[in-house]
């Protein structure tokens, strides 16, 4: 899973929060006290939601003059689309002296300043003036306090101030009435950013359980996506599979099916991997070369190589799979495993155009030997040796010697087998050394037999 976009996650929620917060001037609200830096000031500005005293604050009234002035400034910001002029007017109000305003009025002035800076995309000042709202928490309604705290938590998050974001959202949860599952998922994203995956898992699962209990279905795909990623990072692969099995049912998308197939394979569930890939193909999710190549490999492992060849050929036919060494070699291997040697040779020969070493030529030499096309066998064996990159080169030389022997080129075959014997001896490959030695003895015996036969015929 890629890193979550911090700005992307909060942008919609922040904008919604700001429209709600600044739709009109809030004459009275309540809140928690914070300093400019966002550190909590210990004051009794929040209580448990079940505490009847939470609405007992005495909220000072806003004067008509202040309310009208703030309404005019809001019109400047919104209707005239001039937030900078709005900021200047608000600063003039503050410059007249903060003592002339009560806590509720000051909080609403700061709220309007925060909104203006938000419109200007000045997040630093947006945060500062939201914090200043909460400095007057005892003089504002609980609704304004709650909205401001939640908005601040998201703004801190967008600025990567994760500790402050976490502290703020946890305090917000103390005053929120029935917050629902979404804020708990937000807490999970903070823990995720802090790489505290255990706590992140705890809160994602809490959000999912809460949404399920309330019938808020289907659960958001991103929630399961994060949970899958977190368990993967914890290397809890059975849980990853469990989540992916939910995702393919709830959100039958390509990525979930392909990932589920991959996880089945890595955990040794080959049959389930095959079924998952088959389902992805039937559902029309094969739209990448890697899909066809992965499925070909799964079918090869399941001993149904010919189906692997058919499906991979389908990828070539619909131009999803491009001709390359990897793709043509895979197709050739499927045909070879299915004993379709002519088809295999054709694909391997096409792959030689992309070959960077001699491995594909060795494979061709083996096939040509089996088809008794000994001249082509020799040619491809020599090319393989020339290009290099061959493991156990003595085996390749034995193969070339066999081809030369069958072409009745005994002297050349003898030279090759002697090279193979020497190479095998140096590598301490006893079995190959014995095979080369047996061939040498046989050829020498055959040459003696032919000499004796020729001498007898001459007399």
Q: Which residue has the higher pLDDT, 53 or 97?
A: 97
Residue 50, pLDDT score: 55
Using the structure block, give the residue that is written with the tokens 């009275």.
28
413: pLDDT strictly greater than 70: yes
**pLDDT grade for 145, boundaries at 50, 70 and 90:** very high
Report all structural domains of the chain as residue ranges with CATH numbers, in order of start.
1-176 (1.25.40), 180-251 (1.25.40.10)
Residue 7, pLDDT score: 35
Phi, psi values for residue 43, rounded to 5°: -140, 160
Residue 177, pLDDT score: 86
DSSP labels, 80-104: S--HHHHHHHHHHHHHT-GGGS-HH
Q: What's the rounded Cα separation, in Å, for the pair 62 and 60? A: 7
Residue 8, pLDDT score: 40
Q: What is the pLDDT of residues 359-382, one digit of tens each?
A: 999 999 999 999 999 999 999 999
Residue 29, pLDDT score: 29
Q: What's the rounded Cα separation, in Å, for the pair 65 and 135? A: 23
Query: Residues 347-358: what's their mean pLDDT?
Result: 96
Query: Residues 321-339: what's their mean pLDDT?
Result: 96
Count Cβ atoms within 10 A of the Cβ of residue 289 and give its class: 0-12 exposed, 13-18 middle, 19 or more buried.
Answer: middle
- Mean per-residue pLDDT of the chain: 87
Q: For residue 197, how many C-alpha atoms fall within 13 Å in the half-sphere facing its CB?
A: 11
22: pLDDT strictly greater than 90: no
**pLDDT grade for 452, boundaries at 50, 70 and 90:** confident
Q: What is the pLDDT of residues 82-104, one digit of tens each?
A: 999 999 999 999 998 878 899 99
396: pLDDT strictly greater than 70: yes
31 with 45: CB under 8 angstroms? yes
């Amino acid at each position: 899973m890629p890193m979550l976009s911090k700005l992307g996650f909060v942008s919609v929620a922040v904008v919604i929060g700001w429209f709600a917060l600044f739709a009109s001037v809030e004459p009275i609200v309540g809140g928690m006290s914070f300093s400019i830096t966002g550190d909590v000031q210990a004051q009794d500005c929040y209580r448990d939601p079940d505490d009847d005293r939470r609405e007992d604050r005495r909220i000072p009234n806003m004067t008509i003059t202040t309310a009208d002035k703030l309404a005019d400034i809001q019109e400047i910001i919104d209707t005239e689309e001039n937030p900078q002029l709005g900021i200047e007017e608000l600063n003039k109000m503050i410059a007249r002296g903060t003592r002339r305003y009560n806590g509720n009025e000051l909080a609403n002035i700061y709220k309007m300043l925060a909104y203006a800076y938000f419109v200007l995309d000045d997040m630093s000042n947006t945060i500062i003036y939201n914090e200043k709202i909460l400095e007057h928490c005892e003089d504002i309604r609980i609704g304004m306090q709650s909205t401001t705290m939640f908005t601040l938590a998201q703004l801190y998050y967008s600025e990567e101030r994760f500790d402050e974001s976490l502290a703020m959202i946890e305090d917000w949860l103390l005053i929120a009435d029935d917050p629902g599952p979404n804020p708990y998922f937000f807490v999970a994203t903070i823990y995720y950013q802090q790489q505290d995956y255990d706590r992140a898992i705890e809160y994602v699962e809490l959000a999912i359980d809460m949404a399920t209990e309330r019938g808020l279905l289907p659960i958001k795909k991103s929630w399961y996506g994060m949970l899958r990623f977190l368990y993967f990072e914890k290397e809890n692969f059975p849980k990853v599979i469990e989540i992916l099995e939910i995702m393919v049912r709830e959100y039958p998308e390509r990525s979930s099916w392909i990932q589920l197939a991959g996880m089945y394979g890595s955990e040794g569930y080959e049959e389930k991997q095959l079924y998952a890939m088959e389902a992805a193909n039937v559902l029309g999710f094969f739209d990448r070369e890697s899909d066809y190549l992965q499925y070909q490999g799964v079918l090869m492992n399941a001993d149904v190589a010919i189906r692997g060849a058919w499906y991979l050929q389908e990828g070539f036919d619909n131009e999803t799979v491009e001709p390359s060494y990897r793709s043509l070699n895979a197709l050739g291997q499927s045909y070879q495993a299915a004993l379709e040697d002519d088809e295999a040779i054709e694909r391997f020969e096409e792959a030689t155009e992309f070959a960077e070493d001699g491995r594909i030529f060795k494979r061709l030499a083996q096939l040509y030997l089996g088809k008794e096309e000994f001249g082509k066998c020799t040619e491809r064996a020599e090319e393989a040796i020339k290009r290099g990159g061959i493991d156990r080169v003595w085996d390749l030389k034995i193969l070339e010697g066999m081809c030369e022997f069958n072409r009745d080129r005994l002297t050349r075959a003898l030279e090759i087998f002697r090279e193979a014997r020497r190479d095998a001896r140096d590598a301490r490959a006893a079995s190959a050394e014995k095979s080369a030695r047996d061939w040498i003895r046989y050829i020498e015996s055959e040459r003696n037999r032919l000499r004796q036969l020729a001498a007898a015929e001459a007399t």
